Amino acid sequence: MGLETVPDPVPEPGGLTIRIAAAAICGTDMRIYKGLKTRGVRLPSVLGHEFAGVVEETGSGTPWRKGQRVALCPALACGTCRFCRSGASNICEGLTAYGYGLDGGFAEVVNVPRAFVEAGHVISQPDEMSFEQAALAEPLACVVNGQARMGLAPGSHVVVLGAGPIGLLHVMLAKARGAGRISVVQRSAARRQAALSMGADEALGPEEAGHLQVDAAIVAVGSADLANLAARITRPRGRINLFAGFPVGELPRFDLNAVHYGEHQVTGAFGLTFAQFREALALIASGEVPAGSLVTHRFPLGGAMEAIAAVEKGAPLKAVITP
């Protein structure tokens, strides 16, 4: 991975380009960087799918103008496959996404094809919303999808296993949605404290959590040990969401008997729909989910490798590149 100077993209008719103001580093970016995620990824390519900025140039016939503040839903579904027709466009068979097949936001300028513009994926950003906040609409939309998949009900006792940025967004959203009690399981004391500051009722180390009996468990980090802990501490007929991805090539051991005898409902979660992206933007704009509080470190584009190294060490809650 390195920094290159290339010509700015030229928008096609009906398309546009966006000058990046903030691009957040995601756990998926790190997995691609390490070679742990390869499905759907074009190599070489520019990473980054959590970003926002201003319209730079427009192609003919584009209903946008230079300088407008915008957020971009970075995944475009085909709209015609069996999954799109059933409302599950996040698992579209022909999904096109930034940071995977399209060059992403770790750049000064990104190209937005006409198809994204026509689908409404370029969205005007409220003036009161910062670019960093808008960039976090994508991960929040994924969290919205995960909690919708598991059917998290108001008043539930929910445990979030893993207090990285995604786990903390789960805490914020569960609180906004009326969870009765939120527990967090996390090895790092600093991350446990962050979870408490963002709305968790208690934060425990994995060795302290065996007594819990929760209605719903969200596994927010790809750890087989935490997935098995989730199965043990979820009450009979409770819900478990395997939100995080697990390393490619590994087949983790999972206590199927705990699921079988407990009659647990186990769901996965992948990506987001366009409707969930808009919902996430609205949740951030209203202040219901203070996603911007996750950002602790900022780096210039020239410091991208420094940013990657910091994230690898676990120093930031959320790191943002600001070209």
pLDDT of residue 15: 98
Phi-psi region of 243 (alpha: psi -120 to 50; beta: other; left: phi over 0): alpha
Report DSSP state, residue 294: G
Domain assignment present for residue 276? The answer is: no
Share of the chain above pLDDT 70, in %: 100
Whose CA is closest to 73, among 38, 28, 119, 30? 119
170 in the same domain as 60: no
Secondary structure of residue 125 in the 3-state scheme: coil
Residue 316 has pLDDT above 80, yes or no: yes
Q: Which residues make Cβ contacts (< 8 Å) with residue 71, sequence separation at least 6?
A: 52, 122, 123, 125, 134, 135, 137, 281
Flag whether pLDDT at 247 surpasses 90. no
If pLDDT is split at 50, 70 and 90, which confidence band does 251 have? Answer: confident
At 106-132, the pLDDT tens digits run 999 999 999 999 999 999 998 889 999
Q: The pTM is what?
A: 0.95
Q: Are residues 43 and 58 in the same domain?
A: yes
Number of separate domains in the chain? 2
* pLDDT bracket for residue 2 (50, 70, 90): confident
Predicted local confidence at residue 32, as pLDDT: 85
Q: What is the CATH number of the domain that holds 260?
A: 3.40.50.720
Same domain, 215 and 190: yes
**Reported confidence tier of residue 134, pLDDT bands at 50, 70, 90:** very high
Rounded distance, CA 72 to CA 206, Å? 37
Q: Is the pLDDT of residue 93 over 90?
A: yes
Asked, for residue 203, whether it belongs to a domain, the answer is yes
Mean pLDDT of the chain: 95
Confidence of residue 246 (pLDDT cuts 50, 70, 90): confident
Asked, for residue 1, whether it belongs to a domain, the answer is: no
Whether residue 263 is contained in a domain is answered as: yes
The tens digit of pLDDT for each residue in 203-245 reads 999 999 999 999 999 999 999 999 999 999 999 999 999 999 8
Among residues 54, 58, 52, 55, the alpha carbon closest in space to that of 71 is found at 52
Structural domain contains residue 4: no
Residue 5 inside a domain? The answer is no
Residue 85 and residue 124 in one domain: yes
Structural domain that includes position 82? 16-135+290-321
Which pLDDT belongs to residue 38?
Answer: 74
Q: What is the arithmetic mean of pLDDT over 58-85?
A: 97
Judgement on whether residues 232 and 189 belong to the same structural domain of the protein: yes
Residues 179 and 294 both lie in one domain: no
Compute the distance between CA of residue 128 and CA of residue 122 in angstroms, rounded to an integer: 18
Q: What is the pLDDT of residue 179?
A: 98
One domain for residues 79 and 151: no
Residue 265 CA to residue 125 CA, distance in Å, equals 37
CATH number at residue 64: 3.90.180.10
Residue 184 lies in a domain: yes
152, 166: one domain = yes
pLDDT at 40: 78
117, 14 Cβ separation under 8 angstroms? yes
Residue 105 lies in a domain: yes
311 in the same domain as 254: no
Q: What is the pLDDT of residue 115?
A: 98
33 and 77, same domain (yes or no): yes
Same domain membership, residue 104 and residue 187: no
Question: Strands (DSSP E) along 68-132, which ranges?
Answer: 69-72, 75-76, 96-97, 109-112, 122-124
159 in the same domain as 60: no
